[in-house]
């Protein structure tokens, strides 16, 4: 990151994936009009969520540049990022499932508890991952009834933030584990219980119990094709033969959906007021012709040119070494819940396992 001042105007070069949010935060931090802050995003690598945040270091670099009276450049080390940037996926889920004797789901009840760290992260707050886990949990399956509760618990760790998956990983794991346990209890094949619960082809557009709208798809056919291509029956025979020889060999099946294109409306429903939805537009037309506007993606990953041009003169930049920690001493994270504790087919079993 590089920050440079010209009078009361601030220019920041950053790898952020949310330049408008970054500009608003900087303007608010330094009590400037937004048009006095310019955010330049050069060609950058992947975003993966963590580059959506505005962290204390970002404000500190701009403040140092103002005090020093010259541009300031800061490069975060990998160790600093792992120790003090956002963290995620430290959560536990207690789930109850109801199904008929054929293994068809009738209802789910889930309670999601996530480690939020010591502070909220800007602009996503603690309302990002716990509701994300709870709402994606039904996945591609029909769930006629679903009740969920999401909690974020304050700890002494760095803040919970967007980190590649944003709750979806935990939600998918819990749902798939639930179906495996249910299949074992009813004596069904794991693939068969999924085929009985997947959204059928003729049900679209389908609104899930958590409110997501599925516009199209054919999940049963996709699973059937995957089983055929993988030679699922052959894999099971190989597994059984290996176990007969004393070797532990397993075959796993899972189905997963991921929501994309989240807009400001989704955030507003969660009470997250600091996530707007601006997009750039380019319009070229003669004075008498109608204007057609279009947007394009930012240059990341595959859109980047083979050679990246230098974005700022390094000779004009002061080098500062910074560190940031929200915890005075290293802390040991609680062990993740064992798979058997993440999901259970009955309320009584779930509560017993959770309290051990």
- Joined together, the tokens standing for residue 265 give 């409306």
Main-chain phi, psi angles of 160, to 5 degrees: -70, 130
Confirm if 255 and 270 have CB atoms less than 8 A apart: no
Q: Provide the whole-model pTM.
A: 0.74
Confirm if 112 and 133 have CB atoms less than 8 A apart: yes
pLDDT at 344: 37
Torsion angle in degrees (nearest 10) through CA of 260, 160, 352, 194: 10
Torsion angle in degrees (nearest 10) through CA of 270, 276, 280, 283: 100
C-alpha 282 chain-centroid distance: 30
pLDDT at 255: 96
- Nearest to 271, CA basis, from 169, 170, 131, 151: 131
pLDDT at 341: 36
List the chain pLDDT tens, one digit each, 356 residues.
999 999 999 999 999 988 999 999 999 999 999 999 999 998 887 778 889 899 999 999 999 999 999 999 999 999 998 888 899 989 999 999 999 999 999 999 999 999 999 999 999 998 889 999 999 999 999 999 999 999 999 999 999 998 888 889 999 999 999 999 999 999 999 999 999 999 999 999 999 999 889 999 999 999 999 999 999 999 999 999 999 999 999 999 999 988 877 777 778 888 888 887 666 566 666 676 666 666 555 555 545 554 443 333 332 332 232 323 233 333 333 333 333 333 333 333 333 333 32
pLDDT at 193: 98
Pairing of strands 72-73, 2-6: antiparallel
Pairing of strands 105-117, 37-40: unpaired
- Joined together, the tokens standing for residue 72 give 């300031």
**Alpha carbons 93 and 112: distance in angstroms, whole number:** 5
Q: Which domains does the chain have, with CATH numbers?
A: 1-74+287-316 (3.30.365.10), 91-265+341-354 (3.30.365.10)
DSSP codes, 148-201: EEEEEEE-SSSPB---SSTTHHHHHHHHHHHHHHHHHHHT--HHHHHHHHBPPG
């Amino acid at each position: 990151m590089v920050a440079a001042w010209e009078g009361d105007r601030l220019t920041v070069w950053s790898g952020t994936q949310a330049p408008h949010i970054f500009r608003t935060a900087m303007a608010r931090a330094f009590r400037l009009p937004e048009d006095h802050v310019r955010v330049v995003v050069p060609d950058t690598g992947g975003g993966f969520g963590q580059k959506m945040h505005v962290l204390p270091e970002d404000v500190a670099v701009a403040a140092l540049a103002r005090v020093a009276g010259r541009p300031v450049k800061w490069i975060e080390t990998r160790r600093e990022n792992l120790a003090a940037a956002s963290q995620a996926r430290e959560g536990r889920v207690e789930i109850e499932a109801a199904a008929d004797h054929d293994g068809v789901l009738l209802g789910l009840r889930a309670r999601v508890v996530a480690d939020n760290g010591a502070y909220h992260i800007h602009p996503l707050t603690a309302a990002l991952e716990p509701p994300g886990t709870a709402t994606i949990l039904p996945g591609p399956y029909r769930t006629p009834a679903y009740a969920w509760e999401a909690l974020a618990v304050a700890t002494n760790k760095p803040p919970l933030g967007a980190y590649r998956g944003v709750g979806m990983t935990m939600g998918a794991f819990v749902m798939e584990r639930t179906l495996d346990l249910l299949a074992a209890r009813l004596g069904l094949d794991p693939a068969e219980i999924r085929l009985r619960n997947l959204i059928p082809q003729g049900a679209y557009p389908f609104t899930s119990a958590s409110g997501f709208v599925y516009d199209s798809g054919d999940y049963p056919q996709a699973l059937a094709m995957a089983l055929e291509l993988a030679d699922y029956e052959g894999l099971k025979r190989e597994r059984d033969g290996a176990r007969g020889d004393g070797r532990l060999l397993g075959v796993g099946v899972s189905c997963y959906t991921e929501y994309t294109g989240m807009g400001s409306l989704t955030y507003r429903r969660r009470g997250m007021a600091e996530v707007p939805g601006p997009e750039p537009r380019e319009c070229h037309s003669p004075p008498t012709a109608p204007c057609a506007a279009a947007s394009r993606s930012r240059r990341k990953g595959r859109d980047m040119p083979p050679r990246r041009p230098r974005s700022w003169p390094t000779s004009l930049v002061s080098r500062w070494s910074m560190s940031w920690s929200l915890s005075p001493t290293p802390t040991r994270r609680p062990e993740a819940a064992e798979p058997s504790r993440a999901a259970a087919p009955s309320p009584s079993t779930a509560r017993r396992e959770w309290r051990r």
